[in-house]
Amino acid sequence: MTAMTTGNTSRADANRRRILDVALAELLRDPDASMDQIARAAGVVRRTVYGHFPSREALISTLVDGAVEALADAHADARTGVSDPAEALARSVLALWPVADRYRLLIALAQRTVTMQGIRERLAPLREKKIHLLQHGLDEGVFSSPLPAPALAYVHEQMMFAVVEAVNDGLLAAEEAGRSATVAVLTAAGVPAARATELVAEVS
């Protein structure tokens, strides 16, 4: 690969990253932001945006992929070196919330284009890790639920979506939502409410 080709590739990658960063900010500010608005905000012509993303839906889909990747990284980092399932779950949800909070308006927007089924499919690898954690906790007697681990993982996932919607609708303050969601997820897994509240206070 020649130096000129490498330079063009680097420029294209930088443009793509900038478009994604600006698009996220613009869509969070105005969910109806057009490709023209995003191009102007990014300081590029519309053709450049369409060169990377053939449609607004494709752009939003790429942003959702980035959100899912950030969630997976947060989940993995939070659990590193933690052996207790309840603590691992608490640290995971507390770490996931800031990422979910950053992208919460995008998630609401993506439901119109990517669809909830598409979002769920993207979350499958993260859900598998959660199932493993929940199963470990159930086997150890740390968690207690009438639901098997895969079903419980879906319940937890839906609880997080519900908390996101509650914040979007002004029913819950964003700064309280992470801790509240963590206590709710722990209690749904069968951890006594007092212990769940205490654990969240310890690790947050």
Q: Is the C-alpha dihedral spanning 135, 141, 147, 148 positive or negative? A: positive
Contact between residue 194 and residue 201 where contact means Cβ atoms under 8 Å apart: no
Q: What percent of the chain has pLDDT over 70?
A: 92
0.85 exceeded by pTM:
no
Contact between residue 182 and residue 93 where contact means Cβ atoms under 8 Å apart: yes
Contact between residue 34 and residue 23 where contact means Cβ atoms under 8 Å apart: no
> Any idea which of 40-54, 68-82, 103-117 has the lowest mean pLDDT?
103-117
Dist. CA 97–CA 104, nearest whole Å? 10
DSSP designation for 130 = H
Residue 67 CB burial class (10 angstroms; 0-12, 13-18, ≥19): buried
For the stretch 166-193, what's the b/e string if a residue is b when 16 or more beta carbons lie within 10 angstroms of its beta carbon? Answer: bbeeeebeeeebbbbbbbbbbebbbbee
Report pLDDT for 50: 93
Of 63 and 15, more confident:
63
pLDDT tens per residue across span 122-159: 889 999 999 999 999 999 999 999 999 999 999 999 99
Contact between residue 15 and residue 52 where contact means Cβ atoms under 8 Å apart: yes
Q: Is the C-alpha dihedral spanning 14, 20, 23, 25 positive or negative? A: negative
